[in-house]
Structure 1
Amino acid sequence: MSTAPLVEICHVAKSYRRGVQTVPVLANISLGIGEGDFVALMGPSGSGKSTLLNLIAGIDRPDSGELRVGGLDITRLPEAALAEWRAANVGFIFQFYNLMPVLTAFENIELPLMLTHLTRRERRERVGLVLDMVNLTDRMHHYPSELSGGQQQRVAIARALITDPTLIVADEPTGDLDRASAEEILSMMQRLNRELGKTIIMVTHDAHAAGAAKALVHLEKGELSDGKIR
């Protein structure tokens, strides 16, 4: 584990409203994740692991507590500033890829760059680099429907990398893949962590997938089951 915390979660709690009821999801979570770590979040369904991931990524806000990424308390950012921070600092990988079906692999990867000031040439060069990193140069003009599940997830990984984010968050990235494709994706994530130094936080219910990470956080009923990263 790194000694320099990139993500600092301090006494964070989160609940949701269901009709007149308040349903607690996370209770007093405190955790540090170092820069360059690859952490797997595990726990049974309803344990709060995806909620914690969404809080770290700035998709949702806690009811209480602080959440700092790179020293910045993102819980205090106004919505517009939070969205800007998220776009610049977080890369997302989802279980079902979340690709635009009417766009090619190249265009899906380029999409986050359309909000930047990069020129068309600069965007094309950057997309070319990440396509090469995920070994999909020969599929750049294919649509998602023309790609296998593993290839679609590689497009999603390339899209997550395209803005060179500080943090990559992955929610069940191998959950919709066969074992061979899952192994390929996990190996790719390990290389991103090892060779590019990317900090990765991955939610998974699969102990085998979690084994690809450097460390494990286990949640049980909204609390850390052992209070620390293993």
Structure 2
Amino acid sequence: MSTPPLVEISHVAKSYRRGVQDVSVLTDITLDIGEGDFIALMGPSGSGKSTLLNLIAGIDRPDSGELRVAGLDITRLGEAALADWRAANIGFIFQFYNLMPVLNAFENVELPLMLTRLTRAERRERVAMVLDMVNMGDRTSHYPSELSGGQQQRVAIARALITDPRLIVADEPTGDLDRTSAAEVLSMLQRLNRELGKTIIMVTHDAHAAGAAKALVHLEKGELIHATDA
């Protein structure tokens, strides 16, 4: 008996209002993503990559179609339920890190745990573990301004991992990094996918970065052109 996909996207469409016009961003997208996949979403600027990622992560809602994650149609959730679902199931990695400048590395990673029932000791143990996992255990008291871009992104990866989410979504995670730092981040994502079995969906315009993924999904003008193995 085959295992159902972790993410099931069925006939999803999305448009945005711009002035007096509705501009179509995604048109009739149907795509399955399996548990443990590492997918790169590619396409030219304006192709709908980030919009699709935001729909999968529950940041935005489609105009039509169904979007199921682990069997749950997240398009039917109310705002509060959707926020709770995101917090428990999605880890976010952004191009510009989105770290809080007034918090040090430890505090930035701990932040998603503040709404949980974990004790302070349990939070500290988990934060120390994930910072060690991304080779930032010796930078826990450093603030973002005291870290390089690559180090900030590793802290952001630790923050994405801290709640042990089933799905990690990464929007241009190497877009602001030099070649060496980008290679380190991509290697780290591959290790998380390989060793921890994390399902990763990564938006990128960089063919080299996309080569780190197991499969490529190409979008153009809001349509799914093709999906291939990397």
- Could you state the TM-score of these two structures normalised by the residue count of structure 1? 0.98
2 CA distance for matches of 1:113 and 1:160? 11
2:93 paired residue number: 93
- The secondary structure found in structure 2 opposite 1:107 is helix
2:75 paired residue number: 75
2:168 paired residue number: 168
1:185 paired residue number: 185
Matching residue's letter, 2:210: A
Matching residue's letter, 2:117: H
- Measured after TM superposition, the shift of residue 19 of structure 1 is 1.1
- Measured after TM superposition, the shift of residue 133 of structure 1 is 0.2
Write the deviation string for residues 133-158 of structure 1: whole angstroms up to 9, x where unpaired: 00111100000000000000000000
1:224 paired residue number: 224
- Could you state the TM-score of these two structures normalised by the residue count of structure 2? 0.98
- The secondary structure found in structure 2 opposite 1:142 is coil
2 CA distance for matches of 1:131 and 1:171? 21
2 CA distance for matches of 1:48 and 1:77? 23
- The secondary structure found in structure 2 opposite 1:175 is coil
- Measured after TM superposition, the shift of residue 3 of structure 1 is 5.4
- Measured after TM superposition, the shift of residue 115 of structure 1 is 0.5
- The secondary structure found in structure 1 opposite 2:177 is coil
Matching residue's letter, 2:154: R
Matching residue's letter, 2:150: G
Instruction: Indicate the percent of aligned positions where both proteins have the same amino acid.
Output: 86
Listed as ranges, the gaps of 5+ residues in structure 1 are: none
- The secondary structure found in structure 1 opposite 2:181 is helix
1 CA distance for matches of 2:139 and 2:187? 20
1:157 paired residue number: 157
The count of corresponding residues between Structure 1 and Structure 2 is 228
How do residues 136-155 of structure 1 correspond to structure 2 at under 5 angstroms?
136-155=136-155
- The secondary structure found in structure 2 opposite 1:5 is coil
Write the deviation string for residues 9-50 of structure 1: whole angstroms up to 9, x where unpaired: 000000000011100000000000000000000000000000
- Measured after TM superposition, the shift of residue 4 of structure 1 is 3.6
Write the deviation string for residues 138-195 of structure 1: whole angstroms up to 9, x where unpaired: 1000000000000000000000000000100000000000000000000000000000
4+ aligned runs moved over 6 Å, structure 1: none
1:19 paired residue number: 19
1:120 paired residue number: 120
1:133 paired residue number: 133
Listed as ranges, the gaps of 5+ residues in structure 2 are: none
1:201 paired residue number: 201
1 CA distance for matches of 2:212 and 2:3? 21
2 CA distance for matches of 1:60 and 1:83? 11
2 CA distance for matches of 1:24 and 1:219? 14
2 CA distance for matches of 1:61 and 1:198? 24
- The secondary structure found in structure 1 opposite 2:141 is coil
- The secondary structure found in structure 2 opposite 1:138 is coil
1:105 paired residue number: 105
Change (3 A) 1:118 1:5: same
